[in-house]
Amino acid sequence: MTNTSLPKDRNSIDQDQFLTILSREEALERFEAVLFPREVSTEQRKLVEAVGCALARDILSPIDVPPFDRSNVDGFAVRSTDLASAAEFASVHLILNEEVIACGTAPTQLVLPDTATPIATGGPIPRGADAVVMVEHTEPSGEHAIEVRRSAFPGQFVSFAGSDIARGEALLRAGTVIGSREIGMLAACGIAEVPTRRSVRVAVISTGDELVQPGEPLPPAAIYDSNGAIVVAAINENGGNAVFWGAIPDDEEKLEAAMHRALAESDMVVLSGGTSKGAGDVSHRIIARLGQPGIICHGVALKPGKPLCLAVCNDKPVVILPGFPTSAMFTFHDMIVPVLRRLAGLPPRSDATVTAKVPVRIASELGRTEFVMVSLVEGADGLIAYPSGKGSGAVTSFSQADGFLRIDALADQMPAGSEAKVTLFTPHVRVPDLVIVGSHCTGLDLVTAPLAHTGLTVRSIAVGSLGGLAAAKRGECDFAPIHLLDDKTETYNAPFLSEGLDLVPGWRRMQGIVFKKGDQRFEGLNAEQAVRSAIADPTCIMVNRNQGAGTRILIDRLLGEARPDGYWNQPRSHNAVAAAVTQGRADWGMTIAPVACATDLGFIPFAEEHYDFALVAARKERPAVRAFLDALASHHTRAALESAGFRPAFDSQ
Ligand code: AMP
Ligand code: MG
């Protein structure tokens, strides 16, 4: 965790801003034009090690399969002409030859006219015979003969040599991606290894002074390196063989040494972070010294992902992905996967798509191709795609979304109600059984946990109370959790419901002031006194909440006209308020009791807020809705909510 590499010449950095931004199409075209066509080297691989690889050449069968004429049934090898007159009431008598042909036994005796040889399924047809009769269609006649009452046609129950695969026949074509079925075919032909395109060795380097590896303790101001793991996995999923070089600090010398070695030992280098041309962002400057032709494009009209840097050094692709994990993943999948797969000789990716309606307007920046992650839910007539991104810095959006939609560079928005094509992250999207859209609360997890354990899938989408109510009115969810105070009646939630929505009581959350335990400006005071004390001290800094939050209304009531230092710091969650106070960015703020308790902060209760559910009445009878209501009413949930600091409301109504 050093910071030794602040730029010496600030001007040169400032002038280095993104002057030429290319469209994604042009960037990809230029990148591929430098890299392809190229000779792809090959390597022999044992079958089990070839799974997922592309074949380098056509594979011809070296043998016939089956290798000999073989019986398909247990029975007797015969001459079909002997049985020409056999019928139900006219049996034919055949003398048994002495040998019995089991599987794996080569026959030695000729089948002469009026004789038969016992043969097992898979046994080689003996010389002279041209058909097999099933044992069920014969009767023993003494110890050495059988009676047959059916005729047989030539070739009956015989698989002829090469009838499955003929020697010299093309088994698999070059470029075929090898899976278990292909391996079965190759094994049946006796092939133990195949020529495949040589796997692409990719060095993965994370950059940043702030990064520590998962599993290590997290020092103040540090974050876990998530790009390293994601990029390694995504490379391996797309025909590459990733080698992780760890996270390297923003130190030009150290990074340059690592990049030189990585380039020498790999076919491709993928870095993340340090591409924004800001202070300390050094990797793109190193590329210029790494090899020819160097940077192909730095700055692509993508959102997220603008700072992507594409380079080719000594004929090898070198890529710097943006640092934000979401940006890193979108640019990787959109711009790097096509190149990686081409290097590995794999066909282009074909992702599954669905059509879904967008329930809200999505604003988009003109001139940049924008990717928006969405969660899919079942609407009244078809799928609905809720934008679920939390900004390019968020890692969780990826695992909570089902896929993404793309807004064209020339569009400045996607209007509410549009039909959009959603590219799925995995082809098997399962629309959730229960959909909760509205205000988020950590207590919600305690209610839905038992549902998840019985196999019901729950999707909860945090859009705030008002957004949830709107979704409920459109019938896009089962429940909308809300906490809205009606100023006129001074009551919570009920005044906001409209026809078709029922109120289901949830729980009460105590809102109050948090401060570091022992802070004498707050200890022992009530909320009004505490805020007066804070305002009286000009060195005291607060943390506020965003406009529209229920908590914000309470803070504004306490502050009146006062605007203390920190008022404009307005995070969007209860947890962020606690983090600001815990880490010393602020001295006080307002959050809910369970959060204060979990972070061991001092807490002055102020007002109890009602967190309830607007239930879409038309969905009442759905099994998942009933399961949710049961879970909500259970003693178990009640106890869990209470021990987390909430006060269940469902009995008191
Ligand atoms: P940078 O492009 O280096 O300015 O990084 C942009 C943002 O992404 C910063 O907030 C970094 O902390 C974050 N970031 C960079 N690399 C990683 C990584 N490997 N894992 C998680 N976050 C990262
Ligand atoms: Mg960085």
Give the count of beta carbons closer than 10 Å to the beta carbon of residue 486: 12
Ligand 1 atom closest to the CA of 206, numbered from 1: 19
Question: Whose CA is closest to atom 10 on ligand 1?
Answer: 324
Q: What is 246-315 written as a DSSP string?
A: EEE-S-HHHHHHHHHHHHHH-SEEEEES--S-STT--HHHHHHHHSSEEEEEE-BSEES-TT-EEEEETT
Q: How far apart are CA 314 and CA 298, in angstroms?
A: 18
Q: What is the pLDDT of residue 2?
A: 40
Ligand 1 atom closest to the CA of 250, numbered from 1: 3
Q: What is the pLDDT of residue 550?
A: 80
Asked if 115 contacts 129 with a C-beta cutoff of 8 angstroms, the reply is no
Q: Tell me the mean pLDDT in the region 319-332.
A: 92
Q: What is the pLDDT of residue 10?
A: 38
Cα–Cα distances (Å) from 572 to 186, 549, 575, 578, 580, in that order, read 58, 8, 9, 12, 12
> Which ligand is the nearest neighbour of the Cα of 208?
2
| Confidence class for position 274, pLDDT limits 50, 70, 90 | confident
* Burial readout 249-261 (b: 16 or more C-beta within 10 A, e: otherwise): bbbbebbbebbbe
Q: Domains, the chain, ranges and CATH?
A: 10-39+199-343 (3.40.980.10), 44-63+168-196 (3.90.105.10), 70-159 (2.170.190.11), 353-424 (2.40.340.10), 434-653 (3.40.190.290)
Torsion sign across C-alpha atoms 257, 258, 264, 267: negative
How many Å lie between the centroid of ligand 1 and the Cα of residue 323?
4
Q: What is the pLDDT of residue 487?
A: 83
Q: What is the pLDDT of residue 273?
A: 92
Residues 119-167 have pLDDT tens digits of 999 999 999 999 999 999 999 999 999 999 999 999 999 999 999 999 9
4: left (phi over 0), alpha (psi -120 to 50) or beta: alpha
How many Å lie between the centroid of ligand 2 and the Cα of residue 231?
16
DSSP H stretches of helix in 40-195: 180-188
Pairing of strands 309-313, 316-321: antiparallel
Q: How far apart are CA 288 and CA 308, in angstroms?
A: 15
Amino acid in position 622: R
Tokens linked to 631: 């879970």
Q: How far apart are CA 316 and CA 259, in angstroms?
A: 12
Residues 243-259 have pLDDT tens digits of 999 999 999 999 999 99
Report the number of secondary-structure helices (H) and strands (E) in the chain.
17, 38
Q: What is the pLDDT of residue 1?
A: 40
Q: Tell me the mean pLDDT in the region 23-29.
A: 95
| Per-residue pLDDT at 15 exceeds 60 | no
| Per-residue pLDDT at 387 exceeds 80 | yes
Q: How far apart are CA 573 and CA 552, in angstroms?
A: 11
Residue from 306, 324, 329, 331 to probe ligand 1 pocket by mutation (most atoms less than 8 Å from CB) = 324
Q: What is the pLDDT of residue 401?
A: 85
Residue from 223, 327, 331 to probe ligand 1 pocket by mutation (most atoms less than 8 Å from CB) = 223
Q: How far apart are CA 123 and CA 103, in angstroms?
A: 5
How many Å lie between the centroid of ligand 1 and the Cα of residue 3?
15
Q: What is the pLDDT of residue 8?
A: 39
Q: Tell me the mean pLDDT in the region 467-475.
A: 91
Ligand 1 atom closest to the CA of 274, numbered from 1: 3
Cα–Cα distances (Å) from 58 to 64, 174, 181, 373, in that order, read 17, 5, 16, 40
Whole-number average pLDDT of the chain: 91
